Amino acid sequence: MSSGAGRLDVARVRGLFSGLSDGYVHADAPGGSLVPESVVRAVAQAMRVPIANRGGVFPSSARAEQLVSGARSAVADLVGGTASGVVLGPNMTTLTYAMARALARRWRPGDEVVVSRLDHDANVRPWMQLADETGAEVKWAEVDIETGELPAWQYDELVTPRTRLVAVTAASNAIGTRPDVAAIAERAHRVGALVYVDAVHAAPHVLLDMGELGADFIAVSAYKWCGPHVGAVVADPELLGELRPDKLVPAPDRVPDRYENGTPPFELYAGVAAAVEHLAALCPDASGTRRQRLTTSMATVGRYEGELFARLDRALRSMAHVQVLGSPLDRTPTLSFTVSRMRPRQVARELARRNVCAWDGDYYARELFDAIGVNETGGAVQLGLMHYNTADEVDHVVQCVADLA
């Protein structure tokens, strides 16, 4: 799994991350990835020069405009969208609440919203709360708790002419499931419903294309793909132009600015662009536009992570004292498991003692873990791999979990 045609040179990649020098196996990426030095430098450099707010006629204000423009262009390349449709903000949850409020102004009693048990709560609760305020009905797409799949066929009955919005994840941050978003979106669009896709967990692992997914809105968070704590929601600028979000009167009314409240962290926007460039450069042989380089690099990442994850998944499923939750066919390199006679927090502590970073709990996948039935005992232990992890690290994790028997 080193260098070679169409393969990731993981030794080179690891050299980009100073955070890997702490001696830990960082298998906690679903909760936030490590940051490469190129992103650190980009943020630091942005803070070394004068930056004012936007809208001025002097150089430091022009720099702010450039940082905003650069971040929007980078996110657009990441998801296959349009830069003028990129709304930047502090995180996916805050942005989704803002979008939900704007969309719900058009909802009426009897309208319907479809959410899924597979999703992170940030793509569930905002829609439920706004549906409650407007009198809309919430309908649930259920997960097959044995396989962890979200069957697309159930949307044939869930989606009706009264459906206004379907919210669905591109990948579960808890068990890795990648549902057939395009098939779900096709059913929603038949009746004129909008589709809001949470791609926060999918973005570090697969090439996103909001057109192919059928996403009217797609949400991402840079800290999941080696960037700073900045979120983004991308939509067609014309669609954004139809909505009226909450805003201050003097604030710009143009799209997408009217969705962005307050003075933004311009220096972090430099990190957003650098993080997308980091992904695009993971395959040094990739050429062409940034989007073309992303296409090549993410395919390389997918192959590498797939091999690495198969090694981890097979080993854990072979252990009698371990239960891996679900077995979806199409997934990101992420899984959750429980250990016999141990609570998840105990397992996480034991792994930490052995220099393994792993999360425990429900990771905001509350509905999913309620359905599976593990929340009563503290949820599960989560492991997630990134392009900077190695086979040796996976073997170490496997041995640590085996020792818990």
For residue 242, give the 3-state DSSP assignment.
Answer: helix
Q: Tokens at residue 145, please?
A: 């708790």
Q: pLDDT by residue (tens digit) across 188-216?
A: 999 999 999 999 999 999 999 999 999 99
> Residue 333 CB: number of other CB atoms within 10 A?
28
* Cβ contacts of 250 within 8 Å, gap of 6 or more: none
Tell which residue, 186, 185, 223, has the closest CA to residue 203: 223
Tell which residue, 238, 256, 239, has the closest CA to residue 247: 256
| Burial grade of 21 (CB within 10 A; 0-12, 13-18, 19 or more) | exposed
Q: Is the pLDDT of residue 4 over 60?
A: no
Q: pLDDT by residue (tens digit) across 303-341?
A: 999 999 999 999 999 999 999 999 999 999 999 999 999
Q: Tokens at residue 319, please?
A: 């252990």
Q: Tokens at residue 305, please?
A: 């992570």
pLDDT band at residue 7 under the 50/70/90 scheme: confident
Position of tokens 């968070």? 221
Domain boundaries, the chain: 10-34+291-403, 41-278
Q: Is the pLDDT of residue 75 over 80?
A: yes
For residue 137, give the 3-state DSSP assignment.
Answer: strand
Question: What does the pLDDT average to over 364-388?
Answer: 98
**Mean pLDDT of the residues in the chain:** 97
Q: Is the pLDDT of residue 5 over 90?
A: no
CATH topology for 10-34+291-403?
Answer: Aspartate Aminotransferase, domain 1 (3.90.1150)
Point out the least confidently predicted range of 4-8, 87-91, 234-238: 4-8
pLDDT at 2: 37
Domain 41-278, classified CATH 3.40.640.10, yes or no: yes
